[in-house]
Chain A
């Protein structure tokens, strides 16, 4: 598995993603600067978290026009893997690789904390090592993670089993009480129709080593390593 991490101006989880892939997973990984039009030959592209282009206009709204994103879209259209985390998820929504939009958190405040996720779908390269219904403790850190989509889109996501993760309790109970940002249907992460693109608000790269408190996020990278 070869991977690339795209660096936008304002990305700030780029080195974290790079570090997990290279140091923890021992993967072959490289950075791609946003001005580059061509991607190196890789299996996986990561769009990292941060505040690309200062989140001006809307989160992720400017990043989708960057030269690198053209190649990322092409890479995805060819069926290869793209993982967007936090701001990366927002960029995936803005670029149309995933449906829906992000609203400000229900609390109107930025929130950084550990939350529990229930695995809803393990039929994907990102989640194949996970058990359906298992719970993972992974941090979130965002001000705009309140996922929104229209009824038709939600129905399609549900019917086609494209919801990868929902916010839940430690025991897997899904309810508004465990929803940290007000996202529709407690959605924390969704897959594309072809299941080769995953967007998620929580940061698995921040929960991939025991010294950081939890290493549940590592299972996602392990799934990918074996993909």
Chain B
């Protein structure tokens, strides 16, 4: 029998692990010798883009990560932590599971949810909400329908079973995601500030425990797989997709959260990407210690697994726990209570080595810090893509103003990207934990925190067409719009997490998009005072046809100090006055209107003035705190007409609206279609009781926010200017049936 130590490392083997010649030299320098087969595998996963961020690190470092409320900063731990006062903190993160979902949509999406939940409870916080951002090809395509159905079912399966409410998010359909869907899952947890757990190994002699599910061959090399472009052959990579068991995760979560209440815990780290390898070397690297584990003790589900496989497996629902010496019994008792494995597999050692044994034999010995933190870093070449030249050009004169705006609105309401997503979120348990105050369909999801007055608002957002046409402006808008969503619910934006989905970074044009988008996000984060607490980068999102649009998804989190001051997105009262806040310009480039009505994905997307945006936020938050707003809804995809229709669509009590003073809201000459469907930024729709009219106008003036009274909430029709007349029920029925109609079995 050949043992792994005897396997000769060949240049082909190195290449097939995705390791370059330069990287291999670096490995031999770190080790002072050639690596063996197991070590080669360990380096390949730790130095994959997914784990090391080798291609994106120099850019990611430029994100603002400082803020007055930040208890743990981005990059220090699995997820950033934000203080929300009253001895409470929240912890949140968004992460991609794009490639697995493309291959096996149900399990790919399900394990994406499982992974992000572990990132949250590994910090000692109880997950209290899930959101997601999903992007698929055109929904009229049968392959897309299969992916869409599978992804939604996978998310629903995992989230529902574990009992964390999934509060929607966003769903886009565009042919750029054909064959390469995006599945970005976000989780948020809450904890007491004195219960923060670090993913750190410290205290020489402290035992290292393996808890949770047994290790199998599933997900072998998943991190390396996620760092490759999808090709026709990718479907043969199916074993690299993990299989999830939400029941196991529920038990694991409860056991871990019970453990943090004891004094037996030193550190905790989930086994996500790169499994046992990553958790072992990262805990040791953070604690500046050595660590030693014995693979013979690792619970296994399959026989004959070699060290290489055990170290690289991405079996789900597993955690690594560093316990306090002498408290072993307490740890074991808690896991026994939940009928889980808790096996001591090693201990914290002096020095700096990660030593992996298989019984008596040492199968890997690598300096932990070098492996975890000193991976290669590349500054990639950038080049402005040639497509922009043509794509940004838009000759407005050649675009005819449609005759029938009502028909345009109906067409937009029937577009799956703009239509109601109830088909999706009704499959998610969005109410469990009895804290959900704003259901999906609102600008932001809102949950209360029991036994306090506080609420947490969350929005995920990214308009990738904007990012395709102008990555800098698109990145800016992704942050600003998600902040605006949170503000519209009455909550103050605190911080963001992001999931940066891009194509192959080796292509200078793609890297340029990436850099530009990040710069745009930074501009908004700085201006709006919302630092980045962490997130994830997903590169190589390309199908055989082309790269996806640059998609830097933002997860914005806001705090509502007094939940009673929340503001719904829907019109509430007959007779309320309707105001438009913000200026409307002739901005049609990159709009949903231009795409849906004219079939064009062209032009410069709308411009965002961050000062204006900030003033709008201040004004809305002030009015919300005074209780003067009956409803508030931001203007985004589809512009004013769509925002008005959506505001009428309270699922439990639809309302009508008459907009008869539209001309007052437009300063200067603006084409009529731009007034109705343009997507000028920094705008919101407010409804206000007549008695607050003067006060609201006065405050807008003081804040330097243009505010126009344009109509009132009344009747059962949507009447906008001279151009749109439709029955609310008819419009609502188009809006609600667009996706179910296409998904009918």
Contacts and interface: CB of A to CB of B under 8 A. Distances in A.
A56 B247 contact: yes
B429 A110 contact: yes
Interface stretch (B71-79, B211-219, B432-440, B511-519): B432-440
B333 interface: no
A143 B429 CA distance: 10
A143 to B, nearest CB: 8
A81 interface: no
Interface string B258-269: 000000000000
| Most chain B beta carbons < 10 A, residue from A49, A53, A55, A110 | A110
A51 B247 contact: yes
Given A12-B162, A55-B161, A110-B160, A23 B427 contact: no
Given A112-B427, A211-B448, A10 B160 contact: no
A19 B427 contact: no
A49 B163 CA distance: 10
B431 A203 contact: yes
B432 A141 contact: yes
Contacts of A9: 247, 250-251, 338-339
Nearest to B247: A54
A113 interface: yes
B450 interface: yes
A12 B247 CA distance: 11
Contacts of A19: 434, 450
Interface string B153-180: 1001100111100000000000000000
B431 A10 contact: no
A96 B703 CA distance: 66
Given A109-B153, A211-B448, A51 B431 contact: no
Most chain B beta carbons < 10 A, residue from A10, A19, A111, A209: A10
A50 B430 CA distance: 13
Given A19-B450, A211-B437, A13 B247 contact: no
A24 to B, nearest CB: 10
Contact of A110 (B156, B247, B251): B156
Contact of B161 (A54, A206, A208): A54
Interface in A101-125: 109-114
Nearest to A56: B247
Interface string A188-227: 0000000000000001011011011100000000000000
B563 interface: yes
A35 B451 CA distance: 30
Contacts of A53: 247
Chain A interface size range: 20 to 34
Contacts of B431: 112, 139, 141, 203, 206, 212
Given A9-B251, A141-B432, A50 B163 contact: yes
A216 to B, nearest CB: 13
A141 B433 CA distance: 12
A28 interface: no
Nearest to B161: A51
B121 to A, nearest CB: 14
Most buried by A among B157, B245, B434, B451: B434
A10 B250 contact: yes
Interface in B101-143: none
Given A19-B434, A23-B450, A10 B153 contact: no
Interface string A18-55: 01100100000000000000000000000001110111
B426 interface: yes
Given A54-B161, A211-B448, A113 B426 contact: yes
Contacts of B248: 54
A205 B431 CA distance: 10
A200 to B, nearest CB: 16
Contacts of A208: 434
B221 interface: no
A16 interface: yes
A10 B247 CA distance: 6
B92 interface: no
A63 to B, nearest CB: 12
A12 B250 contact: yes
Interface in B422-469: 425-434, 436-437, 439, 448, 450-451
Nearest to B435: A212
Given A12-B163, A54-B246, 19 more contacts: A9-B338, A10-B161, A12-B250, A53-B247, A55-B247, A109-B153, A110-B156, A110-B427, A110-B428, A112-B427, A112-B429, A112-B431, A141-B431, A205-B434, A206-B434, A209-B434, A211-B563, A212-B437, A213-B439
Interface of B: 153, 156-157, 160-163, 245-248, 250-251, 338-339, 425-434, 436-437, 439, 448, 450-451, 563, 652
23 contacts: A9-B251, A10-B247, A10-B251, A12-B250, A13-B163, A13-B432, A20-B434, A50-B163, A51-B247, A53-B247, A54-B245, A56-B247, A110-B427, A110-B428, A111-B427, A112-B160, A112-B429, A113-B426, A141-B429, A141-B431, A211-B437, A211-B563, A212-B437
The 5 tightest CB contacts between A and B, nearest first, are A12-B163, A54-B247, A51-B161, A16-B434, A141-B429
